[in-house]
Amino acid sequence: MPPVIEIKNLKKHYRYGIRGMAVQAVDGISMSVDEGEVFGMLGPNGAGKSTTIKIILGLLRQSSGECLIFGEKLSRDSRRLMGYLPESPYFYKFLSGFELVKFYARLCGMGEKEAKTATMKALNLVGLGDAANRQVGLYSKGMVQRAGIAQAVVHNPRLVILDEPASGLDPIGAADMVDIIARLKREGKTVLLCSHMMSEVEKLCTRAAILNRGKIAAMGMLDEMLAQKDATDMEFETDDAEKLAQIRDFAASRGVSTLKTERAKISLDEFFRKTVEKSK
């Protein structure tokens, strides 16, 4: 099976100002995304992530290079197989979540009845089933982002492209987003997840590319990229200093030096979420 996305030496420059100054937003990117994986595209602001996404979707034309979707040049048919959550989605706030998502379903060519069923399915998937009849203008930021995902998947696409889905969300909203993306993966969808939030990418992706200034600075399996050579982490279920000293002595007797011993910690994100959940 051909990769879901295959990009070869993709370049894109923008021209701006009256003199037509050029910015090289994407500068020779090659990568591929396989069926069923959540592929992470990381990078600082201005790295070229959104530009790459827009070329994949056919919203922008590349200056040079090639982009294949399901092994073919982008066409009307392959566009239908893609769903997209833009970076800062703007939704008409007087529509209810249901009306909003149904609107997109209708845009994709579904009949009224089919659109209604697909809309409820998408809203339930993102946990907005109970808020379906509330106006989008009254939604929290996290709910708006979730409605954005529902809109992106309502036509049951095979490839879902998410541009910074958790940006502006608190750690609880961000964790919900991770759950939703994990659900998409379980449904067998291929996801291109673009983010500058490392923790969510770490939780969801097996492979990722790090972009900087329009180029790929690193790409591969996350496990391999993050593994430290010649070092192993071990976690012991004790904080007894004496026992730990014995363990360290034993290791030393085998010629293995202990690089660090510190109290096991959870991340601040996790601590925050647990604390808020407990005080509900």
Ligand X SMILES: Nc1ncnc2c1ncn2[C@@H]1O[C@H](COP(=O)(O)OP(=O)(O)O)[C@@H](O)[C@H]1O
Query: Which CB sits closer to Mg ion, 79 or 196?
Result: 196
Q: Which residue, chain included where needed, has tokens 């541009």?
A: 163
Instruction: Choose among Mg ion, ligand X, none what residue 51 binds, the Cβ cut-off being 5 to 8 Å by kind.
Output: ligand X
DSSP 8-state code for residue 228: P
Binding characters for ligand X, 13-42, by CB under 6 A (x = yes): -x-x------x-x-----------------
| DSSP3 helix / strand / coil % (the chain, rounded to 5) | 40, 25, 35
Cα–Cα distance, 168 to 173 (Å, whole number)? 9
3-class secondary structure for 61-108? Answer: CCCEEEEEECCEECCHHHHHCEEEECCCCCCCCCCEHHHHHHHHHHHC
Residue list 199-228, contact with ligand X (CB under 6 A): none
Work out which of 28, 36, 46, 89 binds ligand X, going by CB under 6 A: 46
Nearest approach in angstroms of CB 52 to Mg ion is 9
Work out which of 3, 40, 48, 97 binds ligand X, going by CB under 6 A: 48
Q: Contact 85/148 with Cβ under 8 angstroms?
A: yes
Residue 159 makes contact with ligand X by CB under 6 A? no
Instruction: Choose among ligand X, Mg ion, none what residue 40 binds, the Cβ cut-off being 5 to 8 Å by kind.
Output: none
**Which positions touch Mg ion (CB under 5 A)?**
49-50, 87
Contacts with ligand X by CB under 6 A lie at 14, 16, 23, 25, 43, 45-51
